[in-house]
Each structure stands twice: as C-alpha cells, then as structure tokens.
Amino acid sequence: MQYRRLGKTDLEVSEICLGTMTWGRQNSEAEGHAQMDVALDRGVTFWDTAEMYPVPPEEARFGETERIIGSWFRKTGKRGQVILASKILGPDSRFKTIRDGKGRFTRANLQAAIDGSLRRLGTDYIDLYQLHWPERSVNIFGRLYYSHRPNETFTPFAEVLDVLGEAVRAGKIRHIGLSNETAWGLMRWLHLAEQGLGPRVASIQNCYHLLNRGFEVGLAEVAIREQCGLLAFSPLAMGSLTGKYLDGARPAGARMTLFPNFSRYMTPRAQEAIAAHVALARKYGLDPAQMALAWVNSRDFVTATIIGATSLDQLKSNIASIDLTLPPELVKEIEELHKVYTIPVP
C-alpha cells in the first residue's frame, strides 16, 4: 500500500480508502466486519462512512453503517489503527424526522450529528468530519448546469466553521473536509480559515471517474495549489466500468440490478463509452475495474480513491489496483477516448 498526506495535516492516509456504504443494505454486519479485516490486513487504513449510510438511503436504516463499524471497533479494539472519516448529511427531503428535518448546518444540528456519529461508531473522535453536500443549491448529483437561486439562504460558512472549530478543540473531530463541493465553495471555506475563522479544510470528496472528469475543469487546480486533495468517490461509476452491465446484463445481487432507479450509467451514450473503456482494458490484458481504479490512483490531485465492494473477491481486486501502473501508451489512448466521450455521464 502507498500513503499520502491528508491536506496540510499530519495524517498519512492510504491511497486506497475503504468505502462502506453497502454495509447494512447489500452487505450484512458480518460481511462488513470481514471487509474491514481484509482491508486493514492489506494496509488500507483510511475508511470513509457517513451518518446517512447505507445507500440507497432511508430513515429506517439511518446510521446503520456507522453502527456496524462501531461494533467492529468494539470487537477488535483496533480503532487506533484506522483513519476514520464520516459526514453530516445536508438538506434532503428523505430525512424528515432526522433532527429538525431540514438538514441545515446549524449549531444544534452539527453538534447533534457529531455526537450521534461518535455514539454509533463507538469512538471518542472522528479523524475527518465532512459536510456531505452543500446546504445551498449547486450542480451536483448528475447536474452539470448551475442554476442560481438569488433568494436562497444558507448557514453562513463562518458560523459553520465556528462550530466545527469548537468540536476540534473538544477533541471530537481532528480535521474537516467537504464533499460534493464546487470550486467557489472550496475557495471560500479555505479563505475563511486563512482569516482565522475556523479549521482549514483538508480534503474534498467528489465524484470522479473515467466517465465524469468534471473535477478537472476547475477543482483540480485548487486541489493542487491549495493542498486540499480529492477523495474520489464512485471511481468505478457504480460498478459500471467493470463492464458487468453491458449488453443489458443484470448480475444477481449487483447494485443496479437491485436498485434500477440508479439509471445514470444505463443511457445509450454512457453504455457506448463504458464499452469503449472496457475494450481498451482488455486490449492491454487488464481487468477493466483495475484499469479504471489505477487511472484514478495516478492523478496528481487525488489523495485517495474510495473503493467499495459487496464481495471479498471484489475488495481484494480493487485494493490490488494500487500495484498497477498504466503504460504511457494506454494513458494516451484513454485521453483519446476522453475527446470522444468527454462527459457522457454527469
């Protein structure tokens, strides 16, 4: 395993980060425990979760993934071997009974969310605490176009940083991060920290993969120059870059078999782009999933690639992508495909 510095902090995190959002829905508690055992044994010391997991989210399962991680910590006593990240959810109409039902980043909501995660995780501290998505309207989750809402209100960033700073001083969280954020948002958070108004953002967790390289447009430069690297989620585009859904295939137990509403990667254009990348991997004798992950691992603005799996075989193969270096001629062909399929899936 390889390790990188998390932002400007003193933490070294594994370049492969263990994603957990299937535990409690697609995976049982015992399967989640087995994945944690395998990941840690292979040097994956950076784990990411969220209070709303598992996914697809629903109120009845809220916090279940954190609870599963907490039960593993209690069973193994290995909390100190893990750099643990979690997140507070933003505004979402699916969580009407969670706190005030509005998902605003108010003082009361932030404090309650942090304490709730600590309780479920069975730990005294969270290494990286992230805002899962902005309170304001931004172009995320499949939207490319930004539609401004001039009368929209949201909790001032400085107030949020003040509360998070209190949590840092109390020892409940060590560092903060953002998720699904824009270049403007990230720069504003960083600027306020420079003014001494709260802790500095250490990372940004956004979607990034061969089919959606939107992060490169504005955020990549910010990530590098500001030392606030990307934690790339969905690097396999919900598993579609494995090729397992091509030609209408729906493998038993697979995410898009169980949850057909996840249709973003099933459009004709997306399937055409996926088929082209899968064919390229096979041309070089590579596993398509490992090629896709190795490509993300190699980006200079990426701190860690967040992998997820529902089986131990998938997990082991995904972790092994850290040992794969793509030949320059293959990378060149990837760039040629990118010209044809620039962003086939937002």
Tokens found for residue 35: 């994945």
Query: How many structural domains comprise the chain?
Result: 1
For residue 227, being part of any structural domain is answered with: yes
For residue 219, being part of any structural domain is answered with: yes
Which is it for the CA torsion 6, 186, 196, 84, positive or negative?
negative
Catalytic residues: 53
d(CA 244, CA 117): 35
CB-based contact 13:306 (threshold 8 Å) = no
Could you tell me which of 307, 313, 150, 155 has the C-alpha nearest to residue 235? 307
| Backbone φ/ψ region at 128: left (φ over 0), alpha (ψ -120 to 50), beta | beta
For residue 49, being part of any structural domain is answered with: yes
CB-based contact 332:320 (threshold 8 Å) = no
For residue 283, being part of any structural domain is answered with: no
**pLDDT at 263 (0 to 100):** 85
d(CA 104, CA 132): 12
**pLDDT at 145 (0 to 100):** 86
CB-based contact 177:200 (threshold 8 Å) = no
For residue 226, being part of any structural domain is answered with: yes
**pLDDT at 253 (0 to 100):** 86
Q: The domain spanning residue 39 has which CATH number?
A: 3.20.20.100
Q: Helix (H) and strand (E) counts for the chain?
A: 11, 10
Write out the chain's pLDDT in tens, 346 residues: 999 999 999 999 999 999 999 999 999 999 999 999 999 999 999 999 999 999 999 999 999 999 999 999 999 999 999 999 999 999 998 899 999 889 999 999 999 999 999 999 999 999 999 999 999 999 888 888 888 999 999 999 999 999 999 999 999 999 999 999 999 999 999 999 999 999 999 999 999 999 999 999 999 999 999 999 999 999 999 999 999 999 988 998 888 898 988 888 999 999 999 999 999 999 999 999 999 999 999 999 999 999 999 999 999 999 999 999 999 999 999 999 999 999 998 8
End-to-end Cα spacing for the chain: 31
Supply the range of the domain harboring residue 167.
Answer: 3-242+252-262+292-325
**pLDDT at 90 (0 to 100):** 95
For residue 342, being part of any structural domain is answered with: no
Cα distances from 78 to residues 40, 57, 69, 70, 142, in angstroms, run 10, 28, 11, 11, 37
Read out DSSP for 205-247? EEE-BTTB-THHHHHHHHHHHTT--EEEE-TTTTTGGGTTTGG
β-pairing verdict for 230-233 and 302-307:
parallel
d(CA 18, CA 319): 9
**pLDDT at 144 (0 to 100):** 84
For residue 279, being part of any structural domain is answered with: no
**pLDDT at 107 (0 to 100):** 97
Cα distances from 27 to residues 32, 33, 163, 195, 300, in angstroms, run 6, 10, 34, 44, 33
**Which are the contacts of 72, defined by CB distance < 8 A and separation ≥ 6?**
32, 33, 36, 78
Helix (H, G, I), strand (E, B) or coil at 197: coil
For residue 287, being part of any structural domain is answered with: no
